[in-house]
Structure 1
Amino acid sequence: MRALVLLAAATACMAMPGPQTFPLSLPASRATHQTTLGHKIHELGLDVSMEPQKPGNVVISPLSISALLSVLMMGSAGRTRQELLRGLHFDDAHSENDVHLSFQRLMEDIFSDGPDVTLNVANGLFLQRGPGIIHNFTHKARIHYNSVVSTLDFFNSSVGSTETINKWVKKPTNGMIPHLLTQPLDPRTTLVAVNTVFFNGKWLTPFDSSLTLDMEFDTGAGKVQVPIMIGTFTVNYIDIPELEARMVAFPYKGNRQAMYVILPTGQPTANLEPLERELSVEKINSLIGNMTKLEMRVGLPKMRLSFKSSLRDTLKKLHMASMFDPAAANFSRLSTLPVWVDDVLHETVIEVSEEGTKAAAATGALTFRSGNSNIFLVNRPAIFFIRDEVSSVPLFWGRLVRPEPLRT
């Protein structure tokens, strides 16, 4: 028998200048299929995030996980296919072809490679040389997910194949994930499927790096010193008294993507799960729709967050278990040989820093009136997410518990 190893990698490199105000109404050209898919990607992201994780920072890419599971569903059949379809929050009424077409359109639409915003999604399929893999599967993966398809010799060159895949991941993630695989692959491997997301976004007015200060960040279990970027800007804001929290949106240049930070107002605590469980997709969309513009003094940690985890147990708990069972997995549309999923690895790296000229930031600082400005200081654990505003797709979702200071 053969083992199928499935891997997901996601990275965001964010140069975060000061936020700009942006329109609360989304572009009229937003397609229905995008918002429907965005809703389902968000639901899966919440499912994964709310499963127990190791203590500390948690950062995932719902888009990356969903895209990879959808590619896998394309090669599945029977019970395994039904579990993946429902795990992706689709049901029997949805045409599987429509699901793949929706992902194809989304990937084409969100792609950006400009000087201010870069958003790239890359898919790679690495196959064992020889018979087994069904051509129709790789053909559809190329069409719908723009997958790069390569053949390797896992059986005779496990170490070399591992190095090849790591080099491939390193390139689309701009070097931020150089070693997704830390151990040589099992020689029985038939297929390694990889999805990467790379995001680099800027705003028009940067934070002034000369105003960045080392301040206390209360983790709920103790206090640590971290650099905090400070500025005064007009932002979209909402108070959420029923959740004892507040939320601010920081849009990127072009108003296509935005970062949202949900900051609890009670005693600092590393346990953000109770708050997160109240944040359904409908609740989040309602909050975003009711945000208003407000001039605020804001402070964000200058930080690097990294997270790497196996999602095997999480996906099993989410009723996607048969694909991991050699006796139950059905990937008959992927291979003529019996295969199953060995593991799902997910790695995310996010960097938050200032960028831009001092003069541009000084203009923002001059608009500050201490007597009239509210304060939104992220100096305690918080929830954050980066969203594509047209499709409502959450590119990244995370819990900030203890920032890793970014010294540049």
Structure 2
Amino acid sequence: MYWLPASAILALLCLVPPVHSTGSLQAGLRHRQGSFAMALYRAAAQGRVDTNLVVSPSGVAAALGLLQLGARGNTRAQLEAGLGYDVNDGHVRELLLQWQAEVNNSSSPMASKEAWLQQTCVLLVQNSIKLDTGFAHKVETWADVSVMRDHQQQNNNSRKDEAWLPLQAGSSSGDLSGSGEAQQAEASTLLSSSSLSASQSSWPSGQQMALLSTVTFRGMWQKQFHAVNTHNLHFLLVDGTTVKVPMMHQATEVRFGQFQTSSNQRYAVLDLPYSGLSLSLQVVLPSDRKTPLSSLEAQLSFRHMASWEAGLRRTRMDVFLPRFKMHNKLNLRSTLPAMGIGDAFNPSDADFSGISAEDSLYVSDAFHDVTIEVTEEGTKAAAATAMVLLKRSRSPVFKADRPFLFLLRHIKTGSILFMGRVMNPADQLL
């Protein structure tokens, strides 16, 4: 018998390509995206006690993925640990882009007039910075992102929000994402409302970047609520008082399930699909009216979320859901370090040599702008002002008349587009 030396065995093993099971990769990536969504929500909720909140995990993940493409060393390791995956892995990046395309196709104005999702990520860099060509090439394929140059220093007479122009890579002009005018307009809107625009007429000393992301959604229910069934009903606040809010109502067949945490805390999950059946809103409500939402928030994990799909059953119910609208602006510079992503914002520790090898870059600002509105579908009619007695029904009732969580997700990919809580529907904007 002939024995191969250990060095030969190692050489042969190196020639064997790694095996990537599509199913296991998808399952693993869903789990990591879900865990990231929970971590982001908890980090954003810190210091926001008993207030309405909404974040877009998919929007922030896209922004961090863009940074990860150009990060090196410990900065890259922190971004990878925070996200839970490495976008520099070709298989991971391919699957992420595939999922992003499916989400966009299911909710774009061109695909359907019934669902509209706008997600934009813009990386702003000084015009003097020489970008790495490899980074520029990767950005070309990254979904819904744009890299823009600051031309403010070249044209001090221009308006601040018009000073940001699409990136010019090498001798070619145009932005790398292929959506020039739309991305530039979105960047201008973000800049005009951010502290970056308000506080800086030009870049301060040191080489810097700014990261801006925005996500907006409006969808039509598969079965719409009707304005005539919307009435002002009581909503219980955390302090025990109540406020009257426009409460939508319909008797319909939904997916519903009852679950419990490891400490036997019971809660209910209602799944309301949007038209087209590719997106749905999941409403999570403690079963006991005396249980504070914060207690449920502290115990929920992606493991619980993953169990909902198997536990939901089609049930005819009386559904009561308040109309609500939220607009949150988050400074990720204070949120992400709580998730272990801190080096990117530190001038001494940040390593973005993959974006520019000649300049010492760090992220000076990072803003996340989110808007969500849940209505009967676009109706402008005011709710009735008088209390209306509703007929008793033999159907079970799901009544979100107290604080609840919500998740807006893409069903096929499992991507969590929005996650938040409603503590008081009467607080329209934060």
User: TM over 0.5: same fold?
Assistant: yes
Number of the residue aligned with 1:179: 193
| Aligned partner of 2:60 among 55, 61, 65 | 65
**How many correspondences in the alignment?**
364
- On the 8 A contact 2:75/2:350 being kept in 1, the answer is yes
| Aligned partner of 1:351 among 373, 390, 394 | 373
Task: Kindly state the Cα deviation for residue 109 of structure 1 after the two structures are TM-superposed.
Answer: 1.8
Q: Indicate how the Cα distance of structure 1 residues 179 and 323 shifts in structure 2: closer, same or farther if over 3 A, else same.
A: same
Number of the residue aligned with 1:110: 103
In structure 2, give the amino acid aligned to 1:192. Answer: A
CA distance in 2, matches of 1:369, 1:255: 30
Number of the residue aligned with 1:13: none
- On the 8 A contact 1:219/1:402 being kept in 2, the answer is yes
Consecutive unaligned residues in structure 1, runs of 5 or more: 1-29, 358-367
Q: Indicate how the Cα distance of structure 1 residues 238 and 289 shifts in structure 2: closer, same or farther if over 3 A, else same.
A: same
Kindly report which structure 2 residues correspond to 1:181-330, keeping only aligned pairs within 5 A, or say none. Answer: 181=195, 183-185=198-200, 187-188=203-204, 190-221=208-239, 222-241=241-260, 242-267=264-289, 272-330=293-351
Task: Kindly state the Cα deviation for residue 86 of structure 1 after the two structures are TM-superposed.
Answer: 0.8
| Aligned partner of 2:130 among 113, 129, 132 | 132
Query: What TM-score results when the alignment is normalised by the length of structure 1?
Result: 0.80
- On the 8 A contact 2:211/2:363 being kept in 1, the answer is no
In structure 2, give the amino acid aligned to 1:308. Answer: K
Q: Indicate how the Cα distance of structure 1 residues 165 and 258 shifts in structure 2: closer, same or farther if over 3 A, else same.
A: farther
Task: Kindly state the Cα deviation for residue 160 of structure 1 after the two structures are TM-superposed.
Answer: 3.2
CA distance in 2, matches of 1:202, 1:126: 34
Number of the residue aligned with 1:360: none
Q: Indicate how the Cα distance of structure 1 residues 268 and 155 shifts in structure 2: closer, same or farther if over 3 A, else same.
A: farther
Query: Of Structure 1 and Structure 2, which has the larger fraction of its residues in strand?
Result: 1
| Aligned partner of 1:41 among 5, 14, 33 | 33
CA distance in 2, matches of 1:135, 1:183: 32
Kindly report which structure 2 residues correspond to 1:350-369, keeping only aligned pairs within 5 A, or say none. Answer: 350-355=372-377
Number of the residue aligned with 2:14: none
| Aligned partner of 1:77 among 72, 77, 98 | 72
Number of the residue aligned with 1:20: none
Mapped pair 1:394 → 2:388: no
| Aligned partner of 2:426 among 401, 404, 408 | 404
Task: Kindly state the Cα deviation for residue 136 of structure 1 after the two structures are TM-superposed.
Answer: 2.2
In structure 2, give the amino acid aligned to 1:84. Answer: L
Task: Kindly state the Cα deviation for residue 375 of structure 1 after the two structures are TM-superposed.
Answer: 1.1
- On the 8 A contact 1:38/1:394 being kept in 2, the answer is no
- On the 8 A contact 1:304/1:352 being kept in 2, the answer is yes
CA distance in 2, matches of 1:247, 1:103: 27
- CA deviations 1:139-185 (Å, max 9, x no partner) are 21121235333322244649834456699679569x89972456244
In structure 2, give the amino acid aligned to 1:160. Answer: R
Which structure has the bigger radius of gyration?
2
- On the 8 A contact 1:230/1:299 being kept in 2, the answer is yes
CA distance in 1, matches of 2:79, 2:42: 18
- On the 8 A contact 1:39/1:281 being kept in 2, the answer is yes
Consecutive unaligned residues in structure 2, runs of 5 or more: 1-21, 166-180, 380-389
Structure 1 vs Structure 2 CA RMSD: 3.1
The SS at the match of 2:159 is: helix
Structure with larger RCO (C-alpha < 8 A, sep 6+) = 1
Structure 1 vs Structure 2: percent identity of aligned residues? 24
Number of the residue aligned with 1:10: none
| Aligned partner of 1:333 among 341, 351, 354 | 354
